[in-house]
Amino acid sequence: MPYKDKHSKAAIDSAHKRWKKYYDKNSKKLYQNKKEWSQEYYQSHKDLYKKYWWNKKKKLFNIDRDDYDRILKEQNNACIICHRHKDELGYTLHIDHNHETGKFRGLLCYNCNAGLGNFRDNIDSLKNAINYLMTR
C-alpha cells in the first residue's frame, strides 16, 4: 500500500499506538462524554428524530402517525395480543409486521413482539409452545 511521504506506515502505526494508549487510559471518560453529548443532542433534536422515525415507518410499513393513532384507538390503546394498556406498559406499542411481505399486522407490546420474533412467526412452533404450556 503506497503511503504519502508525510504519512508513512511508521508514522501511522505510531499515531495508532498513541491513540490506543490514550483511549485505554481515558475510555471511561470518553464513553461518559459521548453518552452525555448523545443525550443532549437527542434532547435538542427530538422533533427531527420523531420526523425521521415516522418517515422511516411510512416507507417500511406504509403507516404514518395518523394511522398509528387510529389503530391504537381501535385496539383500545392496548397490545392486540395480551391486551396490556400502553399506560401500564409505559412505552409506545411496537409496529408488528410480516417479515416476508413487510405488511403491517398490528401494534404489540415489547414482550409479544419479541415472542413472535423469537418464534420467527412460525405457526407450528407457536402451536407446539401452546400445547407444551397446556400439558405441563
Per-residue pLDDT reduced to its tens digit, 25-43: 999 999 999 999 999 998 9
Q: Provide the grid cell at 84.
A: 396490556
From CA 5, how far away is CA 9, in angstroms rounded? 10
Q: What is the 3-state secondary structure (H, E, C) of 23-87?
A: HHHHHHHHHHHHHHHHHHHHHHCHHHHHHHHHHHHHHHHCCCHHHHHHHHHHCCCECCCCCCEHH
The structural domains of the chain, ordered by start, are 61-135 (3.40.1800.10)
Per-residue pLDDT reduced to its tens digit, 47-99: 999 999 999 999 999 999 999 999 999 999 999 999 999 999 999 999 999 98
Cβ neighbours for 118, distance < 8 A, ≥ 6 positions apart:
none
pLDDT at 5: 57
- Per the confidence metrics, is the pTM higher than 0.75? no
The DSSP element (H or E) to which 95 belongs, if any, is: strand 94-97
Per-residue pLDDT reduced to its tens digit, 97-135: 998 898 999 999 999 999 999 999 999 999 999 999 999
Q: What DSSP letter does each residue of 120-131 carry, written as one string?
A: TT-HHHHHHHHH
pLDDT at 99: 87
Q: Provide the grid cell at 97.
A: 409486521
